[in-house]
Chain A
Amino acid sequence: MVLCLTLVCLVCAAVLGGMYALTYEPIRKANENILKASIGAVLPEGVEIGALESVSSDGGTFEYYPAVKDGEAVAYAVKSTAIGFGGPLSLMVGVLKDGTVFNTSVLSCTETPGLGAKCQESGSHFRTQFQGFGADKVLKVTKDGGDVDAITASTITSRAYALAVSNAVAVAKYLAGSAEAVDTASGASVPEEKKGEE
């Protein structure tokens, strides 16, 4: 009885160890490809993507990848997270040196399917409105006096998305030297008096 259990466990352990070793490289590559694709999608073409760096502020630590052209940083892909309706909403935001948003992509999202999860549809108006979002406009949903059109019935998700983009822009501005400090709001995406919407 004991012998049999031991044998089965040994065989299973061997199988698992082997599989882990076999898939280690493909998993690493798959994760790398996802990251590369998300960075590539939010930056202009023909730039070289630098190594991961990070910058700290009151709002937390932000990881970013500088985009280099002719030896000079022209844009930044900033990883930015805000709290949405169902949990953390993590974005990759490409910001040009002058503070204009180039494009955004969703890294991870736990929003409600059919509602907030629509922020993952890359061709939708909600997503395309961020492309070329200028520094002259305000990165808040229209309900809060900004210029971002919210997803229907998903104000909290839209607010979190706008906040994440806005934080990323603040980081990029700091990196580009046009702002003294990183002016980011912390994760509280929902203003106190507006809780309970959506």
Chain B
Amino acid sequence: MEYFAIIISAIFVNNILLAQFLGICPFLGVSNKISTATGMSGAVCFVITLATLVTYLINQYLLVPFGLEFLQTIAFILVIASLVQIVEIVLKKISPSLYQALGIFLPLITTNCAVLGVAITVVTKEFTFGGTAHMLNLGQAMVYALATSVGYGIAMILFAGLREHLAGNEVPKPFRGLPIALITVSMMAMAFLGFSGMV
């Protein structure tokens, strides 16, 4: 039950892009085509889940026991940056086809604030399910990370679909490019507001 609440909340109610505003830069940058949006979503999904696992363990077993929570920011960003590098190298060796699909997005992910945002959120925020507030345990944190990145993918691919249609239309000149995209996202965010109160 609690997993269900976490999943619904992370995908729809508190959608990372449309309600929490994390990872907006790549969202606006690579959402011109559905194919690139899918590739980016896949890469983000992979890195967020992996990074959350590693940072959660580092926080739990390294930072907290030594009272070094104030180093969270710097420790997490270094872990994420090196993790992205390792993933890139490993992927290149093991699965060249997957590397072809995700490779070009990987360097962009280090500075995607969604990754650092989720990593910090799972170790600092109290979540509410079943009527009380909890800190997440490892299993819940992993489910949250996975669900959040699925939510990222859903919003990204939906938006890319809208944007492909937008490209064929006569848009007034000052609106062309990002402004009309932002106004479209606003409508999407409005639609996602409808999910609030569900969990």
Answer whether A and B touch in the complex at a CB cut-off of 8 Å. Answer: yes
Tier of interface size on chain B: 10 to 19
- A197 near B197 with CB under 8 A, answer yes
Question: Which of B71, B128, B131 contacts A186, CB < 8 Å?
Answer: B131
- Is there an interface contact between A87 and B131, defined as CB atoms closer than 8 Å? no
**In-complex Cβ contact of B71 among A16, A81, A83 (8 A):** A16
Please state if A186 and B132 are interface contacts (CB–CB under 8 Å). Answer: yes
Interface size counted on chain A using CB atoms at 8 A: 18
In the assembled complex, B1 has its CB within 8 A of some CB on chain A:
no
Pair A187/B197 contact, Cβ less than 8 Å: no
Chain B residues, Cβ within 8 Å of A195: 197
Query: B74 contacts which chain A residues (CB < 8 A)?
Result: 12, 16
Q: Which residue of A lies closest to B70 (CB)?
A: A20
| Contact between A87 and B126, CB atoms less than 8 A apart | yes
Q: With an 8 A cutoff between CB atoms, is A196 at the interface?
A: yes
Determine which residue in B125, B127, B131 has the highest number of CB atoms from chain A within 10 A of its CB, and name it: B131
B133 at the interface (CB under 8 A from A): yes
> Residue A44 at the B interface, CB < 8 A?
no
Q: Is A189 an interface residue (CB 8 A)?
A: yes
**Contact residues of B between 108 and 151, Cβ < 8 Å to A:** 125-128, 131-133
Q: Name the residue of chain A whose CB is nearest to the CB of B126.
A: A88
Which residues 26-75 of A sit at the B interface, judged by CB distance below 8 A? 60
**In the bound complex, do residue B197 and residue A83 qualify as a contact, i.e. CB atoms below 8 Å apart?**
no
A83 to B132 CA separation, bound complex (whole angstroms):
6
Q: From residue 77 to 97 of chain B, which have CB atoms closer than 8 A to chain A?
A: none
A144 within 8 A of B: no
Interface membership of B198, Cβ < 8 A: yes
Assembled-state Cα–Cα distance A60/B131 (Å): 12
Contact B133 A83 (CB under 8 A): yes
Q: Are A196 and B131 interface neighbours, CB within 8 A? A: no
Query: Which A residues contact B (CB, under 8 angstroms)?
Result: 12, 16, 20, 60, 81, 83, 85, 87-88, 156, 186-189, 195-198
Question: What are 9 A-B contacts defined by CB distance under 8 Å?
Answer: A81-B133, A83-B132, A87-B125, A87-B126, A87-B128, A88-B128, A188-B131, A196-B198, A197-B197
